[in-house]
Amino acid sequence: DVFATAVKNHGDEPALKVERNGIWKSWSWREVRAFFSWFAAAVSSERDCFTDEQDVNCAARAFIRLGVK
């Protein structure tokens, strides 16, 4: 899985950056994984969403359930 490999190889490096009101905020690969783990658990009724390898797929299914295309 590409995402799991990125987390393993680049864990504390920035994965996402955004500028808001002139201030840059960044999230590491580990922080992004933690968010998707939480998000998947929060919106998914599936019980297999609690391992690193499945988090991204569960988050994607959760977005689809919310109507994100």
Q: How far apart are CA 13 and CA 32, in angstroms?
A: 11
Q: With pLDDT > 70 as the criterion, what percentage of the chain qualifies?
A: 59
Question: What's the mean pLDDT in 36-44?
Answer: 74
Spell out the residues 6+ positions from residue 42 whose beta carbon is closer than 8 angstroms to its own.
Answer: 62
- Whether residue 49 has pLDDT greater than 60: no
- Whether residue 22 has pLDDT greater than 60: yes
Q: Is 24 helix (H, G, I), strand (E, B) or coil?
A: strand
pLDDT for the residue numbered 38? 76
